[in-house]
Chain A
């Protein structure tokens, strides 16, 4: 079984790109009444190829801004973004976006298109005929666990969790090697959320792609991330490392506080049957730590 998966992985994964932010600054211009906002300031950060890297930070810390510079939905004020050592400023923005999957908080589906057509959006933009694009869309519905019966529904006729799955399927339809996810599961209940998180882990493993995942939920970050980047205000990197590194050696009070280590939340690790569990102060497991040994 394991051999099967890694064979599939090798087959599906010709190459997953790395992403690098270099001295990235983004200032949103102010208006006549409001001042300009420095959203991120001088951020330098590397996202390893094939990793699931999580950007975590409180609201307004610049996570979305940082993420959106990667598909050029946000243009940096200064600094640059490299995908595999290529400065993306030199690429065609429209073509670039078609090679990068993007999942947003509010699913952002097209309300006038059926689920199946939403999923097929990018292949259709790339000129794939309707029939093969739909065939591919059905494959993706299987991949993200959506019943084929839902194919003909409009987004408004789907539950929040189903919409998110359609959003994930759409982002994957053109087989991107890089996937950006911006708090994709914020709007769904904890059970569906856990389910979708498992799904993301599995997809990342199965497809062997690079995922850059944004959340403000530290538990989600610990559950998902190979690498976790804790952002303070204006995208300042408070600490980066594996979940275990953060929990065992928080860089400063800010990180410790963010992890809930000193706030009475008392998160800590426990080794159970070779699985690293994240426990809260009441010794209840709230998550399972992922890492290279998975």
Chain B
């Protein structure tokens, strides 16, 4: 119990807020890692997921990717990539992107896969080109699934980005490892709180997004 109070006191201490090793800096780094890694995963995962969903080719990739992701030891990947690229931000970002990719890929693909075949058939029969079919029917109808995929990817990355500090990249994990070294448990707990807060903020953002997308789809769920 005491630790909790001390942890909040640690966060509340103005001396811990600013400066190159302050909460704001670390929080900003953590957020930046999350955004960049998820963004990179989206950049690759969304087009790839759409391509597989639209053409029906390469479905094995989805199964393989999601399966592999579950089995992948994140810390191992991180260390491995760091071994090749050296210490710095490149390795953790690459590792986090790899971690986020399967969720994004699965979300993009599942959104297209869930559309009833007659709807696609009808759209094509009206004279939509493949591109129009994708942009006007498949993407809008698949949006809720895609948002779901991005959401779990982001959550995973927020949680895992604490490991970035392990290879010297900063972020909220920095407080964790620092606390571990100096046996400063309030600081470690404070770092966890901050990570949880970031995760919750992300959840709220996605809940709002899902709501906006869902409003456009409210009519669909009646069926």
Are A and B interaction partners? Answer: yes
Binding site for B on A (CB under 8 A): 68, 71, 73, 94-98, 102, 104, 106, 108-112, 121-122, 125, 153-157, 170
B129 engages A110 (CB within 8 Å): no
Q: Is B132 an interface residue (CB 8 A)?
A: yes
A121 engages B126 (CB within 8 Å): yes
User: A170 CA to B126 CA in the complex, in Å?
Assistant: 9
Q: Is B223 an interface residue (CB 8 A)?
A: yes
B219 engages A94 (CB within 8 Å): no
Given known pairs A154-B220, A156-B219, A156-B222, the reply for A112 and B126 (CB within 8 Å) is: no
User: A157 CA to B223 CA in the complex, in Å?
Assistant: 9
Q: Is B104 an interface residue (CB 8 A)?
A: no
B122 engages A104 (CB within 8 Å): yes
Q: Which residue of B lies closest to A124 (CB)?
A: B136
Selected A-B contacts with CB under 8 Å, 26 pairs? A73-B121, A73-B125, A94-B127, A94-B128, A95-B127, A97-B125, A97-B126, A98-B127, A102-B122, A102-B125, A102-B126, A104-B122, A106-B118, A108-B122, A108-B125, A109-B122, A110-B137, A111-B141, A112-B141, A112-B217, A122-B127, A125-B132, A156-B219, A156-B220, A157-B222, A170-B126
Taking A94-B128, A112-B216, A156-B223 as given, write out 10 further A-B residue pairs in contact, using a Cβ cutoff of 8 Å, ordered by the A residue number.
A73-B121, A97-B125, A98-B127, A108-B118, A110-B119, A111-B223, A112-B217, A112-B219, A122-B126, A125-B132
| Nearest-Cβ distance from residue A121 to partner chain B, whole angstroms | 5
B127 engages A97 (CB within 8 Å): yes
B121 engages A108 (CB within 8 Å): yes
Q: Is B39 an interface residue (CB 8 A)?
A: no
Q: Is B27 an interface residue (CB 8 A)?
A: no
Q: Is B123 an interface residue (CB 8 A)?
A: yes
User: A112 CA to B222 CA in the complex, in Å?
Assistant: 12
Q: Which residue of B lies closest to A109 (CB)?
A: B122
User: A125 CA to B128 CA in the complex, in Å?
Assistant: 7
User: A1 CA to B31 CA in the complex, in Å?
Assistant: 74
> Count of chain B residues with Cβ under 8 Å from any Cβ of A?
21
Interface flags, B114-142, vs A, CB<8A=1, else 0: 00001101111111110010000100110
Contacts of A68 in B (CB 8 A): 125
| Nearest-Cβ distance from residue A149 to partner chain B, whole angstroms | 16
Contacts of A96 in B (CB 8 A): 127
User: A125 CA to B219 CA in the complex, in Å?
Assistant: 24
A111 engages B119 (CB within 8 Å): yes
| Nearest-Cβ distance from residue B144 to partner chain A, whole angstroms | 11
Q: Which residue of A lies closest to B123 (CB)?
A: A110
Partner of A98, one of B118, B126, B220: B126
| Nearest-Cβ distance from residue B125 to partner chain A, whole angstroms | 5
B223 engages A104 (CB within 8 Å): no
Q: Which residue of A lies closest to B137 (CB)?
A: A110
Contacts of A111 in B (CB 8 A): 119, 141, 219-220, 223
User: A122 CA to B219 CA in the complex, in Å?
Assistant: 22
Contacts of A121 in B (CB 8 A): 126
| Nearest-Cβ distance from residue B16 to partner chain A, whole angstroms | 49
User: A122 CA to B129 CA in the complex, in Å?
Assistant: 12
Contacts of A157 in B (CB 8 A): 219, 222
Given known pairs A94-B127, A112-B140, A125-B128, the reply for A155 and B219 (CB within 8 Å) is: yes
Contacts of B219 in A (CB 8 A): 111-112, 153-157
User: A157 CA to B219 CA in the complex, in Å?
Assistant: 7
User: A102 CA to B222 CA in the complex, in Å?
Assistant: 26
> Which one of B121, B122, B129, B140 has the highest number of Cβ atoms from chain A below 10 Å of its Cβ?
B122
